[in-house]
Structure 1
Amino acid sequence: MMKFALAFEDAKAHARRVYPEESCGLIVGGKYIACENIAADPTTHIDDPDCPCRRCSFEISPSVYVNHADNIDVIVHSHPDGPFFPSKGDMKCQIQTGKPWAIIALDEERTAEKPVIWGDDIPELLGRQFMHGVTDCYAVIKDAYALGKDALEKQGIPGWPYDPIVLPEFPRSDAWWEGGEDLYVDNFAKAGFVETTDTPQPGDVFLMKIRSSKENHGGILVGNDLIVHHLPSRMSRREPAGLWGRQATRWLRYKGNADA
């Protein structure tokens, strides 16, 4: 996305002009088009994650969007005073549009140097910085399956048994396990997985609980008796499977034929 560097500079300037409301715009043909945010007036603001006012959300006129729909490179919006990662609503809307999305985070004094972009190319599986909804523990699982054995071999991850498989994205709230959501338990069958008590094999997914009553962490078993996973305080990495395998509360195996 560095090819859009100048467009993102224009998007950052737009975000600063309309702060503390959310900015919104489209990168079309490599150029940024600033759009009017037609979400509700800020005087209607409510203290709720789903507040529909312009301080908390954005809406682009359907006529403007349709006019550019076939040529959109990226859909851009700002997050005044954070967070710098996508909300559950952002994730849902990105899936609906099928376009890459970007967030420009800023506060009263500072604007983030780099936008957060997701829904485009898959980054290297190892050495990622953790970001909720973009490069988190489920993203490692989903992206490993999407890359497939040949691409993973090129990244130094041997023993993966599958060609590329597209797993569904599941929009999720930050710290979802502290609320009413249960990302893995509610959705693993929808993604084509079944629980297994057989000896784990490469391609299997493990779940575990980390300071939670819910299974809030997952990773994958790869070749050479290694796992790949991503914890919030660390880069994504390979580690020996033994310790993590003993702590696993559940192993899942991909069978396909995901639930509707």
Structure 2
Amino acid sequence: MSDPCRLTLDEDVLAAARAHAQADYPRESCGLVVLVDGVQRYRPCRNLADGQSHFVLAPEDYAQAEGEGEVLAVVHSHPNAAPEPSEADRVMMERWGLPWLILNVPVGHWCLWHPEGYRPPLVGRTFSHGVLDCFSLLRDYYRERLGLELPDVERPDDWWAKGGNLYLEGYARAGFVDVTGQALREHDVLLMQLRAPVPNHAGVYLGDDVLLHHVMGRLSTRETYSGFWQRITQRVVRHASLC
């Protein structure tokens, strides 16, 4: 028996999405399936991401699609890769709360995926800047372990090299106070300067000289907080509720 909550896509929509994916190849395409006057329509959108390995759907395009009708699904392509969601795709699918149509190009295989409550593990998650990175690990840790919801912020690629100062300008607004120089406590946040002009990396102190963090190009991990990580730590902050 089919699930009535599962979306079925019209052939015209699939054909239009395939054509868009082929046209944008080898860059990832992205678009939306919109229900307009009872008919499914595919609306190609602009991909604002740097590089070719991921997509950032233009918010103006999403707003325009919402003005036309009901957004039913998010669409994007996987150039030269299977139409299976990456860990970042699964996280974003949950945030959007919509099915995702993923198409392989140039072969043309596709699969429609639905949100199922996925939550990435704190240790062993893959890295995807802006979705699964040191900042999102910090937010997830505080939500899961302490029940605290920290504000999210937009963080473009290489923000630290473009005049941004996300951590030093934002920790107070997020409810943290500077405790640099005091004895470390469990749940303290360590702000580190990793080959950048400003602190651009953060980790959580777990106690017993253990650091939880997520470095670009690596899985999130626990490791000993000593040596290199101590040397590049510029600031220690603690949530006001824990002081």
- Give the shorter-chain TM-score range: 0.5 to 0.7
Q: Which residue of structure 2 lines up, in the alignment, with residue 156 of structure 1?
A: none
TM, length-normalised to structure 1: 0.62
Q: Which residue of structure 1 lines up, in the alignment, with residue 156 of structure 2?
A: 173
Kindly report the root-mean-square deviation, in angstroms, between the aligned alpha carbons of the 2 structures. Answer: 4.6
| Amino acid of the structure 2 residue aligned with 1:229 | H
- Normalized per residue, the structure richer in strand is 2
Deviations, residues 179-223 of structure 1 (Å, cap 9, x unaligned): 122221221112111111211111110011111111111110013
Q: What are the residue-to-residue correspondences of 1:155-194 with 2, within 5 Å?
A: 163-194=146-177
Q: Which residue of structure 2 lines up, in the alignment, with residue 52 of structure 1?
A: none
CA distance in 2, matches of 1:14, 1:201: 55
Identity across matched positions, percent: 26
- SS of aligned partner of 1:61: helix
17, 20, 32: which is aligned to 1:18? 20
Q: What are the residue-to-residue correspondences of 1:57-96 with 2, within 5 Å?
A: 57=58, 58-59=61-62, 60-65=64-69, 67=70, 75-78=73-76
TM, length-normalised to structure 2: 0.65
15, 21, 35: which is aligned to 2:42? 35
* CA shift in 2, pair 1:114/1:62, >3 Å: closer
- Whether the 8 Å contact between 1:104 and 1:111 is mirrored in structure 2 is no
Q: Which residue of structure 2 lines up, in the alignment, with residue 220 of structure 1?
A: 204
* CA shift in 2, pair 1:78/1:239, >3 Å: same
- Whether the 8 Å contact between 2:33 and 2:43 is mirrored in structure 1 is no
CA distance in 1, matches of 2:222, 2:151: 24
- SS of aligned partner of 1:180: coil
Q: Unpaired segments of 5 or more residues in structure 2?
A: 51-56, 80-85
Q: Which residue of structure 2 lines up, in the alignment, with residue 91 of structure 1?
A: none
Q: Which residue of structure 1 lines up, in the alignment, with residue 53 of structure 2?
A: none
| Amino acid of the structure 1 residue aligned with 2:187 | G
State whether structure 2 residue 94 is matched by structure 1 residue 109.
no
Runs of 4+ off more than 4 Å: 3-8, 10-14, 101-108, 110-118
Number of aligned residue pairs: 209
228, 234, 238: which is aligned to 1:249? 234
Deviations, residues 51-107 of structure 1 (Å, cap 9, x unaligned): xxxxx7433433444x46xxx6xx5143798xx999xxxxxxx8xxx6346877879
- Whether the 8 Å contact between 2:103 and 2:110 is mirrored in structure 1 is no
- Whether the 8 Å contact between 1:184 and 1:216 is mirrored in structure 2 is yes
- Whether the 8 Å contact between 1:104 and 1:112 is mirrored in structure 2 is no
Q: Unpaired segments of 5 or more residues in structure 1?
A: 41-46, 50-55, 87-93, 149-162
- Whether the 8 Å contact between 2:16 and 2:42 is mirrored in structure 1 is no
